[in-house]
Amino acid sequence: MNDLNVLFQPVEQYCHREVITCSPDDPVADAAAVMQKRRISSLVVCRDGVPVGMVTDRDLRDKVVAQGLDIRNLTIGKIMNTPLITILKDEFLFEALHRISRYGIHRLVVTDGADALVGIITESDILRIQDSRPQSLILNIEEAIDVKTLNEIHQRIQGLVVHLVGSGVRIQGLVRMIAHLNDQILIRLVDLLLDEQFSDLRGRFAFMVLGSEGRSEQTLKTDQDNALVYVDDLTPSELQRMETFSQTLIGEVIAIGIPACPGGIMANNPQWRHSLSEWRAILNDWFSIPTPDNILRTSMMVDMRALHGNRTLEKGLREHIVGCLMGNKLFLGHMTANMLRFGVPLGWFGRIKTEKGKHKGQLDLKKAGIFVLTEGVKILSLSQGGEKTGTADRIEQLVVRKLLNRQEADDLTAAFYALVSFRLRSQVEALREGRTPDNRIAVELLNRMEKGRLHVALEGVRSFQGLLKRRYPFAQGM
């Protein structure tokens, strides 16, 4: 969103679509029970699908309780606010804000040209959109003075993403924005810790993010994946200080609202905190023994990106990894074999195969294709000594190095962002419904066009697996 035109966006892009309604003939007691159960402060009153009024918790308090009315025979039509103040879905946000101010209300019902209910938008929604522009958030992050403030900003970022999904913003830009804002929060946190407690450690380490965070491909379901590399000549007392710093840092990251990694891939874990020479030796061990665990660890480290600190440490580590894996067909073959274990869920006649049991009818988008694409592109990039980290950037580099042609690259990029888009949209819907976001999408809720787009993306994943099989034919027997 541009600073100058944020209020010239149509209301339809930002209104809440899930609106709880009632009828004018409904008993007040029933409506109050619905509001309490759903934890909402208002109901839109509709007759034959057309909104005709609104009732709020304030109406219940002022018009019913304070007046001592008998609610047994009282209907919503007797206390609702009418005529209803509405706004058309294609009118601008600035008009919504003006109407809210003019009539002294807190919410507007959004309708279409036929007076049918579209959604609802509140004064706080509009103000949050104004206050949650990326430029504003970056400035707020830079000025943050404590973890509590960073936590609040992190929540606002989530809210911004929820508003932007479905608003026409391209998925590539949205993912980059999420990554950039999350980066700025962590950078500010490290700066605060160095300023307040650990100034003696400046220039002595690099704090690295790994995995999807390292690739700048986060969505709304994210936990921590990070590591620490420090200079080789730390004294025993400095080593102790580095341990204290790492414990403090990860504790504060959790306090911001970013969960701990279930697998312990975090800088406060001694296994993910080493000097540069120690990391080189550890990586050599992983490369020489391609167990599933070592493949996973290597894959995480390949995606590393120094977020703060001494960048020469990251450079030395990356050069070592690229030098060891470039042309290393044995290890890359094992990485390919691990990737090929993730079958593409397409059955006969192109039917999308969904899960059974607890997640019946759902599809895990990460297992279904995102992992195959990110991992396969990574393998091809490593085979040629590529140093890029993002999947899209790696794909473009593979075109330059003639491992992919233009059409193959475009198809891969489209498939990747289609799957990421489905995942992000599903996660936003989960947040709106008060559920914990995950990687799954309910296929049955997709319309025909969306199912077609998902099918094309999965076909692209399957085709890409075939390309890797041809490049590393021996991987299928590993």
Question: What CATH number is attached to the domain comprising 63?
Answer: 3.10.580.10
- On whether residue 66 sits in a domain, the answer given is yes
- On whether residue 330 sits in a domain, the answer given is no
- 369 and 423 in a single domain? The answer is yes
- 398 and 274 in a single domain? The answer is no
Name which of 153, 249, 168, 119 is nearest 2 in CA terms.
168
Looking at 67, 101, 128, the residue that finishes a domain is 128
CB distance 32 to 69 below 8 Å: no
Domain total in the chain: 3
- On whether residue 329 sits in a domain, the answer given is no
Name which of 191, 219, 162 is nearest 17 in CA terms.
162
Q: Return the CATH number at 422.
A: 1.20.120
- 150 and 296 in a single domain? The answer is yes
- On whether residue 216 sits in a domain, the answer given is yes
- 280 and 410 in a single domain? The answer is no
pLDDT (tens digit per residue) in 108-143: 999 998 889 999 998 777 766 655 566 677 778 889
- 77 and 164 in a single domain? The answer is no
- On whether residue 112 sits in a domain, the answer given is yes
What token pair was written down for 156? 């606002």
CB atoms within 10 A of CB 71: 16
- On whether residue 395 sits in a domain, the answer given is yes
- 290 and 226 in a single domain? The answer is yes
Orientation of helix 292-302 relative to helix 329-340, angle to 10°: 100
What token pair was written down for 176? 């980059």
Task: State residue 372's pLDDT score.
Answer: 95
Looking at 275, 303, 323, the residue that finishes a domain is 323
- 318 and 429 in a single domain? The answer is no
Looking at 323, 346, 366, the residue that finishes a domain is 323
- On whether residue 432 sits in a domain, the answer given is yes
d(CA 274, CA 286): 15
- 266 and 278 in a single domain? The answer is yes
Q: How far is CA 54 from CA 23, 43, 59, 248, in A?
A: 10, 6, 9, 50
Domain that holds residue 368: 335-477
CB distance 97 to 123 below 8 Å: yes
CA dihedral 37, 39, 40, 44 (to 10 degrees): -10
Q: Which residues fall within 8 angstroms of residue 310, CB to CB, at 6 or more apart?
A: 203, 204, 205, 206, 231
Name which of 190, 180, 189, 186 is nearest 160 in CA terms.
180
Q: Return the CATH number at 214.
A: 3.30.460.10
DSSP 16: B
- 88 and 173 in a single domain? The answer is no
- 349 and 314 in a single domain? The answer is no
- 287 and 308 in a single domain? The answer is yes
- On whether residue 469 sits in a domain, the answer given is yes
CB distance 336 to 359 below 8 Å: no
Task: State residue 139's pLDDT score.
Answer: 79
C-alpha R_g of the chain: 26
- 111 and 213 in a single domain? The answer is no
Residues of the chain with pLDDT under 70: 1-8, 101, 127-135, 166-169, 221, 474-478
> Dihedral sign, CA of 410, 412, 416, 422?
positive
Task: State residue 2's pLDDT score.
Answer: 46
